[in-house]
Amino acid sequence: MTKPVVGVIANVHLVENRFPAQMVGERNLRAVAEVAGALPLMFAGRPDVTDIDALLDAVDGILLTGARANVHPTRFGIAADPRHEPYDRDRDALALALVETCVARGVPLFGLCRGFQEMNVAFGGTLHPEIRELPGRMNHRMPRLANGEIHPDQTVIFADRHDVALTRGGAFAKLLGCETIRVNSLHGQGVDRPGSRVVVEGVAEDGTIEAIRIADAPGFALGVQWHAEYDPQRNPVNKKLFQAFGEALVAKKRAA
């Protein structure tokens, strides 16, 4: 049997401040290829370029990646604020519709960071625009130096920073074989009110929602707030997640 194919959503970037481009971080591609055992296929995060039905006819699963841009606040009923820019309305339009279609069609879906947030918003959930501004919350954004610059060492940026308590007997606890894990943290937005079919299965020590599944989904439909694509070749938690995603891809391909 040939390898399953995973559609990996891209994000808009402006190259040399002039040329719009759709790009995917290489770690996402390597996680799919090296751990999930699938062929990664990048697709544009634009509804005027990517036809959802045609895309899902060509792939066996979807990976919703993290991104620099936040989900636009009007997607969950609050006013936009320049402090929370940049936004990517094209990706919002495509990804939110794609989430619903994947779940309806039983296409394996794995959301990371922004992708996790998109899964929640797609089912009517809301987001906090900036987690660190909430009383009692830690700063979930990437580490910075004293002068405000982003830390130059990626091992520091992506280091495990806090614990996540998993729901006893839930999908994540069963998959990972434990009820507490430790994860990295590089995000500003975060889940506020879970969507109608969103089941919370992981919560950080400060109350931030970190792991979700979609209730009654006919296929794999999990999302995590952290960047599981960073080190699944070595990290046992992230490895199990991508391996489980890979198993779901194989099952979907066999059933096709």
pLDDT digit string (tens) for 179-228?
999 998 876 788 999 999 999 999 999 899 999 999 999 999 999 999 99
Cα–Cα dist 46/13, whole Å: 12
> Considering only CA atoms, which of 60, 47, 51 is closest in space to residue 88?
47
What residues are paired with 39 via a beta bridge?
Answer: 5
Which residues of the chain have a pLDDT value below 70?
1, 134, 140, 142-143, 145-146, 148, 151, 153, 156-157, 159, 187
Which residues are part of the catalytic machinery? Answer: 113, 227, 229
Read off the amino acid at residue 140. H
DSSP 102-118: HHHHT--EEEETHHHHH
Q: What is the mean pLDDT of the chain?
A: 91
What is the structure's pLDDT at 72?
Answer: 87
* 99 touches 109 (CB < 8 A): yes
Structural domain spans, the chain: 5-129+189-255
* Residue 171 CA from chain centroid, whole number: 17
The answer for residues whose C-beta is within 8 angstroms of residue 26's C-beta and 6 or more apart is: none
Cα–Cα dist 211/223, whole Å: 6
User: Residue 218, SS3?
Assistant: coil
Range 98-114 burial, b when 16+ CB lie within 10 A, else e: bbebbbeebbbbbbbbb
For residue 21, is it left (φ>0), alpha (ψ between -120 and 50) or beta? beta
Q: Which sign, positive or negative, has the C-alpha torsion 165, 37, 40, 51?
A: negative
The structure's pTM equals 0.93
User: Residue 223, SS3?
Assistant: strand
Question: Which superfamily does 5-129+189-255 belong to?
Answer: Class I glutamine amidotransferase (GATase) domain (3.40.50.880)
What is the structure's pLDDT at 157?
Answer: 67
Write the CA distances from 34 to 42, 68, 235, 239, integer angstroms.
16, 24, 13, 10
